[in-house]
């Protein structure tokens, strides 16, 4: 099974885990293989016992022969024996072995390469199933920090206001600085109905924010369609999952019955997904034989993947991207732009341009490591650069406002960055407090009361709990209603349909 991952820079999504599927994993482009591996401990035992060769079968025809007397491992053996025999407490030998493997992978200094314990591997695999339990966000490790790649549509993470590039500082009070994304996912995920508290540092803001989130079941429903007017449809793909092609075909067929003549395909906040799904869907819009993506291995050898032309490339199309569009989303966007002349609208994408493979050990643990670059049809490597849209369009300023912790009380005479954020939100949704300096004065209280009264909430002039959540809900609705990027995409599409 091939998958695009963590994005993902792995569309791990806080995910927490999505193999690119965008949820609590890293974002990236992954190929998954399940080959039985022998654990390092067994290998050490066989070699130290004087076995001259050791063959391990992979599937039907792949065999690895391990020769003894590998001098480069002498230091590793010595360290293992020293700790096992001389440490002041009994050591867990399996833990030592896992640590050794993890150390090797960490030394690569590659945020997309991970060694996963049995428990972490289970979380990794569940991210490509039909559903999982967590907060529904894609994460990645970058420069020693865990950052949000993208929240999943309708997830607790999205409802709590998490945004791409938010830095997760702590999870339930525990610092996660220096952790890889797999370790962070293990802390962030949990049973439906349980609460996890994240401390978030948002770029451009001074103070960190505490964000309580109640975990839920995150279904992997990936395609949402609606008519924008009598002839134009908007179709959002939230990730490239197992059934995304089928979902998209069904959605497009339904929209055609409603009069769809052109489509805006929305890949904003899409952290990636399965490679076969990305190729299949891209083939619906790129002429047969045209290149969709190229892979370049360590020796510079390039493999091309061409359009299968499973659909009609003649449907007028415009694609929306933003900084949360990663991995598989970028493969699709680059392919339709360079091989089919489809315009891109929005903001520069995330920039994930490497390929990973994931292999299971016999004990259920997992090793994921980078094996290649992926290139656009024209041979461009977008890693850490992103894809620049043809039409650079930003959302309104209020679309990037930080989160307000609903458990924190904002009331008369208080002063804070949260109050400043609340004032900007109130103004955006039509209840102008006439100031945005962060001081909660009488005018601010009047604005809060007016907002609470209009929404049928207790009109006490205090922002907390339901009032805070409702204010953020109204802002999300405002952002959707004033979607400048979608408006521009529709305008461009109408020109293409003439």
- Encode pLDDT of 367-384 as tens digits: 989 999 999 999 999 999
Give me the residue label for tokens 């315009």: 343
Per the annotation, the verdict on 352 as an active-site residue is yes
Taking the C-alpha atoms of residue 253 and residue 297, their distance in angstroms, rounded to an integer, is: 39
Taking the C-alpha atoms of residue 377 and residue 306, their distance in angstroms, rounded to an integer, is: 9
Instruction: Tell me which of 327, 329, 365, 467 is the catalytic residue.
Output: 327
pLDDT of residue 112: 85
In which residue ranges of the chain is CATH 1.10.101.10 found? 410-481
Looking at the DSSP bridge assignments, the partners of residue 16 are 14
Residue 434: CB atoms within 10 Å: 12
Q: Which of 12, 66, 4, 8 is nearest to 37 (CA)?
A: 66
pLDDT of residue 49: 30
Residue 66 pLDDT more than 60? no
Instruction: Tell me which of 10, 247, 338, 418 is the catalytic residue.
Output: 338
Distances (CA, A) of 203 to 164, 198, 255: 10, 16, 39
Q: Which of 348, 369, 349 is nearest to 357 (CA)?
A: 369
DSSP annotation of 432 reads -
pLDDT of residue 123: 65
Taking the C-alpha atoms of residue 368 and residue 357, their distance in angstroms, rounded to an integer, is: 6
Q: Quick one: which H or E segment has residue 75? A: helix 74-86
Give residue 342's pLDDT band: very low, low, confident or very high (50, 70, 90). Answer: very high
Percent share of the chain, pLDDT over 70? 84
Q: Are 3 and 273 in contact (CB under 8 A)?
A: yes
CA-based R_g, the chain, Å:
25
| CATH classification code of 410-481 | 1.10.101.10
Give residue 26's pLDDT band: very low, low, confident or very high (50, 70, 90). Answer: very low
Q: Are 394 and 348 in contact (CB under 8 A)?
A: no
Residue 278: CB atoms within 10 Å: 30
The torsion angle over the Cα atoms of residues 212, 213, 215 and 221, rounded to 10 degrees, is: -170
Instruction: Give the total residue count for the chain.
Output: 498
pLDDT of residue 68: 52
Q: Which of 334, 1, 272 is nearest to 139 (CA)?
A: 272
pLDDT of residue 88: 95
Which of the two residues, 181 and 148, has the higher pLDDT score? 148
Give residue 273's pLDDT band: very low, low, confident or very high (50, 70, 90). Answer: confident
What is the mean predicted confidence (pLDDT) over 445-467? 97
Query: Tokens in use for 367?
Result: 């090793």
Q: Are 170 and 199 in contact (CB under 8 A)?
A: yes
pLDDT of residue 6: 35
Taking the C-alpha atoms of residue 264 and residue 490, their distance in angstroms, rounded to an integer, is: 7
Residue 77: CB atoms within 10 Å: 13
Distances (CA, A) of 132 to 23, 219, 496: 9, 7, 40
Gap between the terminal Cα atoms of the chain: 41
Instruction: Tell me which of 290, 352, 373, 488 is the catalytic residue.
Output: 352
Per the annotation, the verdict on 327 as an active-site residue is yes
**pTM here?**
0.72
Looking at the DSSP bridge assignments, the partners of residue 140 are 147
Give residue 124's pLDDT band: very low, low, confident or very high (50, 70, 90). Answer: low
Taking the C-alpha atoms of residue 115 and residue 101, their distance in angstroms, rounded to an integer, is: 7
Taking the C-alpha atoms of residue 136 and residue 143, their distance in angstroms, rounded to an integer, is: 23
Residue 43 pLDDT more than 50? no
Q: What percent of the residues of the chain are helix, what percent strand, and what percent coil, each to the nearest 5?
A: 30, 25, 45
pLDDT of residue 69: 61
Taking the C-alpha atoms of residue 325 and residue 169, their distance in angstroms, rounded to an integer, is: 23
Convert the pLDDT of each residue in 399-419 to its tens digit: 988 888 888 899 999 999 999
Q: Are 1 and 20 in contact (CB under 8 A)?
A: no
Query: Tokens in use for 468?
Result: 């805070």
Topology classification of domain 223-353+379-392: 2-enoyl-CoA Hydratase; Chain A, domain 1 (3.90.226)
What is the per-residue burial (b if ≥16 Cβ within 10 Å, else e) of 238-272?
Answer: bbbbbebbebbbebbeebeeeebebbbbbbbbbbb
Residue 166: exposed, middle, or buried by beta-carbon count in 10 A (0-12, 13-18, 19+)?
A: buried
Residue 33 pLDDT more than 60? no
Residue 95 pLDDT more than 50? yes
pLDDT of residue 356: 82
pLDDT of residue 179: 86
Taking the C-alpha atoms of residue 170 and residue 177, their distance in angstroms, rounded to an integer, is: 8
Residue 9 pLDDT more than 70? no
Taking the C-alpha atoms of residue 55 and residue 64, their distance in angstroms, rounded to an integer, is: 6
Give me the residue label for tokens 């975990």: 215
18 φ, ψ to 5°? -110, 130
In which residue ranges of the chain is CATH 3.90.226.10 found? 223-353+379-392
Q: What angle, 0 to 180 degrees and rounded to 10, lies between the N-to-C axes of helices 328-340 and 275-282? A: 20
pLDDT of residue 125: 62
């Amino acid at each position: 099974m091939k998958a695009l991952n963590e994005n993902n820079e792995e569309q791990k999504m806080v995910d927490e885990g999505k193999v690119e599927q965008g949820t609590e994993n890293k974002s990236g482009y992954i190929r998954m293989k399940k080959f039985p591996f022998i654990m390092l401990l067994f290998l050490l035992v066989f070699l130290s016992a004087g076995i001259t060769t050791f063959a391990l079968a992979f599937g039907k025809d792949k065999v690895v022969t391990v020769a003894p007397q590998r001098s480069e491992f002498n230091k590793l053996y010595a360290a293992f024996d020293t700790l096992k025999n001389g440490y002041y407490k009994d050591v867990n030998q399996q833990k030592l072995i896992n640590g050794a493997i993890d150390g090797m992978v960490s030394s690569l200094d590659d945020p997309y390469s991970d060694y996963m314990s049995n428990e972490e591997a289970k979380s990794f695999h569940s991210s490509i199933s039909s559903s999982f339990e967590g907060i529904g966000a894609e994460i990645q490790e970058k420069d020693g920090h865990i950052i949000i790649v993208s929240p999943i549509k309708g997830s607790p993470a999205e409802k709590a206001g998490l945004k791409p590039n938010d830095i997760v500082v702590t999870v339930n009070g525990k610092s996660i600085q220096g952790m890889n994304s797999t370790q962070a996912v293990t802390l962030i995920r949990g049973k439906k109905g349980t609460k996890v508290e994240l401390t978030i540092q948002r770029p451009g803001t001074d103070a960190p924010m505490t964000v309580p989130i109640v975990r839920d079941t995150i279904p992997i429903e990936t395609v949402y369609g609606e008519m924008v007017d009598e002839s134009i449809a908007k179709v959002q793909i939230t990730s490239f999952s197992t059934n995304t092609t089928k979902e998209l075909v069904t959605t497009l067929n339904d929209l055609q019955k409603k009069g769809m003549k052109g489509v805006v395909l929305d890949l904003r906040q899409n952290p990636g997904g399965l490679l076969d799904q990305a190729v299949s869907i891209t083939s619906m819009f790129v002429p047969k034989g045209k290149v969709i993506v190229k892979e370049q291995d360590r020796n510079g050898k390039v493999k091309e993947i061409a359009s299968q032309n499973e659909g009609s490339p003649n449907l007028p199309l415009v694609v929306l991207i933003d900084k949360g569009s990663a991995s598989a989303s970028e493969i699709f966007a680059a392919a339709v732009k360079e091989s089919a002349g489809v315009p891109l609208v929005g903001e520069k994408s995330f920039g994930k341009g490497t390929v990973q493979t994931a292999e299971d050990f016999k004990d259920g643990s997992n090793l994921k490591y980078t094996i290649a670059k992926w290139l656009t049809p024209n041979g461009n490597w977008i890693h850490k650069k992103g894809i620049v849209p043809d039409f650079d369009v930003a959302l309104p300023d209020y679309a990037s406002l930080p989160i307000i912790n609903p458990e924190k009380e904002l009331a008369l005479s208080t002063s804070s960055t949260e109050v400043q954020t609340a004032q900007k939100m109130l103004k955006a949704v039509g209840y102008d407090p006439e100031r945005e300096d962060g001081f909660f004065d009488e005018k601010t209280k009047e604005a809060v009361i007016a907002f609470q009264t209009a929404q049928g909430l207790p009109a006490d002039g205090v922002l907390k709990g339901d009032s805070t959540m409702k204010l953020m809900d109204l802002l999300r609705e405002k952002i959707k209603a004033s979607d400048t990027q979608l408006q521009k995409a529709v305008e461009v599409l109408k020109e293409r349909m003439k």
